[in-house]
């Protein structure tokens, strides 16, 4: 397995985006995550998008961060928001999400961001377990789904 910095609009990224949206639809019974995202949001120094590839060159996991600052949706100045963390079903349990998360945190820290934040949902218990095991703690809700009862928001300081 290897990690590659890639544009959010790359065909491999789009393929995994479609898969994660299908999974959201199955888990939550809706159209998936409709948070507006654009490729430019994940460009350095204000973001990063990563894909993990298996030894056959198949994209098997994704994750990105984007810079966010104080706004009407509950973000704070210096936030870096995790988006589109996903591992294809047959590659789960190999630590790929942890590797991607660690790289995203390091990159956001190097970019001067002070807090990593993310939103997930109650129908993703494995995601919640991952984030809590990596030191993320519940925080005030933010973002598009902040009013949704199934939404859960987490934060982790990036400063030492």
For residue 10, being part of any structural domain is answered with yes
pLDDT class of 17 with cuts at 50, 70, 90: very high
Q: What is the CATH number of the domain that holds 30?
A: 3.40.630.30
Q: How far apart are CA 3 and CA 1, in angstroms?
A: 7
For residue 127, being part of any structural domain is answered with no
- Report the number of secondary-structure helices (H) and strands (E) in the chain: 3, 7
For residue 136, being part of any structural domain is answered with no
For residue 38, being part of any structural domain is answered with yes
What residues make up the domain containing 87? 2-115
Task: Tell if the pTM clears 0.85, that is, is over it.
Answer: yes
Ordered DSSP codes for 57-97: S-EEEEEEEEEE-S-TTS--TTEEEEEEEEE-GGGTTSSHH
Instruction: List Cβ neighbours of 157 (8 Å cut-off, separation of 6 or more).
Output: 114, 115
For residue 122, being part of any structural domain is answered with no
Tokens of 105: 């945190």
pLDDT at res. 60:
98
Q: How far is CA 88 from the centre of its chain?
A: 14
pLDDT at res. 30:
78
pLDDT at res. 33:
84
For residue 140, being part of any structural domain is answered with no
For residue 125, being part of any structural domain is answered with no
For residue 82, being part of any structural domain is answered with yes
pLDDT in tens, 19-35: 999 999 999 987 778 88
**Is the model's pLDDT at 159 over the cut of 90?**
no
Q: How many independent structural domains does the chain possess?
A: 1
């Amino acid at each position: 397995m290897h990690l590659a910095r890639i544009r959010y609009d790359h065909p491999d990224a789009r393929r995994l985006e479609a898969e994660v949206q299908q999974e959201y639809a199955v888990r939550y019974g809706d159209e998936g995550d409709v948070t507006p995202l654009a490729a430019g949001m994940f460009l350095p120094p204000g973001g990063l998008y990563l894909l993990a590839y298996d030894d056959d060159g198949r994209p098997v996991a994704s994750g990105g961060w984007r810079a966010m600052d104080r706004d009407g949706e509950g973000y704070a100045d210096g936030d870096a928001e995790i988006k589109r963390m996903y591992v294809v079903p047959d590659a789960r349990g190999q630590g790929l999400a942890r590797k991607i998360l660690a790289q995203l945190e390091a990159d956001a820290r190097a970019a001067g961001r002070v807090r990593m934040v993310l939103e997930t949902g109650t129908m993703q218990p494995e995601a919640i377990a991952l984030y809590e095991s990596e030191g993320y703690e519940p925080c005030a809700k933010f973002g598009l789904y902040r009013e949704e009862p199934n939404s859960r928001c987490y934060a982790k300081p990036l400063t030492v």
